[in-house]
Amino acid sequence: MPMAREIEFREALREAMSEEMRSDPRVFLMGEEVAQYHGAYKVSKGMLEEFGPRRIIDTPISESGFAGMGIGATMLGLRPIVEFMSWSFSLVAADQIMNNAPKILYMSGGQFGCPIVFRGNDGAGGQLGSTHSWCVESLYANVPGLKMIIPSDPYDAKGLLKSAIRDENPVFCLESERLLSIKGDVPEEEYVIPIGEAVIRRPGTDCTLVGFGRTVYFCEQAAEELAKEGIECEILDMRSIRPLDLDAIVTSVRKTNYCVVVDQSWSFASIGSEVAAEVHKACFDDLDNHVHRVHNDDVPAPYSHDLEQEMLPHARKICEAVRSATYNA
């Protein structure tokens, strides 16, 4: 039986893209610095040498241009992977990725869809300033017709991205720059992870912590601290935002009777508020307190390292939310 290897998150993304490109000649990668420079974060290192410049394509600094070109390529039967160096930069391509890609299947009366993957770094990284630190999930998840995945470890990064590349719909893959160097076990054999299936990262009985992406690590840090106080938290990693595995969340909350949602974006009109609303509706008789939410502070991301760290939904804030939910029920 093949042994799992410990590889970096970025390597898992690269393996997913490379394997799908080897098996399907319609798949190609395009974006800023993905070829000659091996990717701004070295995700595509070595791919130009293997696949050549017709399939690993450096683009101008024009997100609206190459996002639109990728969408057009799907209409000719290709399956592009479009890398945004940062999802913050995708905002200038909003018309293409929000108003065109998710609606092509509907607008064409089902005649053709848009099998495209948009991927890149999302959220506050390491002192990148407010305009480079957007968490765009709540903005883009509002649009029907797309799927959205947010992996939290190398295993999920590879399995979810492979599923995304094969999907017949536009899929947004949001990756945290702060996770790209983390390592995890990834099998050598072929596998995929279905989009829309959550996973329990840590079993518990006293409170459900719902997170995704980088927030899963904040939840794990908080759970370790709370365990010292006798509070055993269950951590549920949503893994995808659209579709949302509400059944898994409801099952966990009905077991623990408490819920804290952790979301690395602003609280107003957020993924966290949507999850809280759905949990309240589905678990009204099971909850012993209202759903608590932990978000970024409602400010632009600071450049200062210490201020940026304080802005994030870190472990102390999560612990305070869990104590408030469970002690004050």
Please indicate, yes or no, whether residues 306 and 206 belong to a single structural domain of this protein: yes
Q: Distance between CA atoms of 157 and 175, rounded to whole angstroms?
A: 8
- 1, pLDDT greater than 50: no
Q: Distance between CA atoms of 143 and 126, rounded to whole angstroms?
A: 29
Q: Distance between CA atoms of 266 and 28, rounded to whole angstroms?
A: 34
Catalytic, out of 63, 175, 220, 308: 63
Please indicate, yes or no, whether residues 203 and 182 belong to a single structural domain of this protein: no
What is the model's pTM? 0.96
Q: Check: CB of residue 208 under 8 Å from CB of residue 252.
A: yes
Looking at residues 91-110, what average pLDDT do you find?
95
State yes or no: is 63 an active-site residue. Answer: yes
Range of the domain at 32: 5-186
Please indicate, yes or no, whether residues 107 and 156 belong to a single structural domain of this protein: yes
- 2, pLDDT greater than 80: no
How confident is the model over 230-284, as pLDDT tens digits? 999 999 999 999 999 999 999 999 999 999 999 999 999 999 999 999 999 999 9
Please indicate, yes or no, whether residues 222 and 83 belong to a single structural domain of this protein: no
For residue 7, how many other CB atoms are within 10 A of its CB? 18
Please indicate, yes or no, whether residues 116 and 224 belong to a single structural domain of this protein: no
DSSP letter, residue 230 = T
- 295, pLDDT greater than 90: yes
Q: Distance between CA atoms of 264 and 295, rounded to whole angstroms?
A: 6
Query: How much is the pLDDT for 304?
Result: 94
Catalytic, out of 15, 32, 38, 132: 132
Beta pairing class for 292-295 and 117-121 = unpaired
Domain count, the chain: 2
Q: Tokens for 157, please give them.
A: 């990064």
pLDDT classification of 124: cutoffs 50, 70, 90: confident
DSSP helix/strand/coil, 106: helix
* String of DSSP letters for 17-86: HHHHHHH-TTEEEEETTSSTT--TTSTTTTHHHHH-TTTEEE--S-HHHHHHHHHHHHTTT-EEEEEEEE
Query: How much is the pLDDT for 118?
Result: 98
Please indicate, yes or no, whether residues 150 and 220 belong to a single structural domain of this protein: no
State yes or no: is 189 an active-site residue. Answer: no
What is the spatial order of strands in the sheet that 171-175 belongs to? 56-58, 27-31, 79-86, 117-121, 171-175, 147-149, 240-242
Of 117, 152, 186, the last residue of a domain is 186
pLDDT classification of 327: cutoffs 50, 70, 90: confident
